[in-house]
Amino acid sequence: MTGTLDLNLPALLAHLSDRGIEAAGPLSADLLAGGRSNLTYAVTDGTSRWVVRRPPLAGVTASAHDMAREHRVTSAMYSTSVPVARPISLCDDEKVLGAPFTVVEWVDGVVIRDREDLTALSDDEVQRTTAALVHVLVSLHSVDVAAVGLEDFGRPTGFLARQVALWRRQWDLTRTRDLPDLERLHARLADRVPAISEASVVHGDYRIDNAMLDRADPGTIRAVVDWELSTLGDPLTDVALMCVYRHPALDVILGIPAAWTSPRLPSPDALAESYARESGRDLGDWPFYLALAHLKLAVIAEGIAHRAHAGADAGRDAKRAAEAVPGLVAAGLDVLGRRRTASDN
């Protein structure tokens, strides 16, 4: 491994020492592949290994790059059946690495990011892996938030209305052009917010490449990662986003032929039905949740392009992520069953 961009290894070594972790030698690091948001590094002293995460170098939005949120939720989940890497440290002193960061224990597992990675799995392993992903999501949504100290982790009341408003605000912060259809999608969602919804811990970014699989048994999930968007809210938002991530636009957003869009995986409908069956939850106004997920993914894609224009290109031609936005917005409008009419003009 070699030193990597904007990671002060001597300062990190001193930080670990302050936390009672005495390294066996100088640290070296590598920027891990994947991800369009927080930067993730593998760090080693030659004997032990850790993972360090910090916000991107430019184009940061507070709600999308909250390191304290990641640390708190993973610390809480570590005592449950939801698999996470053991949290080690949260540092909010920006003098150390130039931004807040977290340190967690290294988990020896496999991350399936693209179609080539997926070829290592047999069809049976693909099915068992997706079943395990649904099972872990059901487990997450079943966590007793009071028992793990997360009762104030979010505001479940009014969550869906705030989500609709939040992703509209995020669009205003990161948009690279005007898109009238996005305004239409937001307006229609705002008019259709369900009056009643359940509440649980939600991950906010759940799909196969945000899970680490056991090397010997891919049907076992060793750890769920990337908790920066987690909160207390409606669990169906997690399910809908997991399904919408199956949209081909994800390939453009990530800049790779994503594993999660592969036709070898269950369809979005099959994933949703599997979750409903195992959790016992009714999917309610499912078109609303799907349309909201399309809006969220569209805004995320625009944010990736925004950060690239701001000088924090995550590689793989991140500016192209904006190309996925119109199609996602159109799909969101379609799923609501209320296509554009003359009265919209």
Check residue 34 and give its pLDDT: 46
Encode pLDDT of 31-48 as tens digits. 885 445 678 899 999 999
What is the structure's pLDDT at 55?
Answer: 82
pLDDT higher than threshold 90 for residue 309: no
User: Which pair of structure tokens corresponds to residue 255?
Assistant: 């800049």
- State whether residue 151 is helix, strand or coil: coil
Q: The pTM is what?
A: 0.88
State the pLDDT at residue 65: 53
Per-residue pLDDT band at 2 (split at 50, 70, 90): very low
DSSP 195-212: S----EEE-SS-SGGGEE
Compute the C-alpha angle 274/186/65, nearest 5°: 70
In which band, very low, low, confident or very high, does the pLDDT at 316 lie, cut at 50, 70 and 90?
A: low
pLDDT of residue 240: 98
pLDDT in tens, 47-90: 999 999 988 765 444 444 578 888 999 999 999 999 999 999 99
Apex 253 CA angle, 249 and 254, nearest 5: 120
Tokens matching residue 286: 């499912």
The alpha carbon of 247 is separated from its chain's Cα centroid by a whole number of angstroms, namely 15
Interatomic CA distance for residues 100 and 98, integer angstroms: 7
Position 256 scores a pLDDT of 93
pLDDT-based confidence at residue 167 (cuts at 50, 70, 90): very high
Summarised one tens digit per residue, pLDDT across range 216-272 is 999 999 999 989 889 999 999 999 999 999 999 999 999 999 999 999 999 999 999
**Contact 68/259 with Cβ under 8 angstroms?**
no
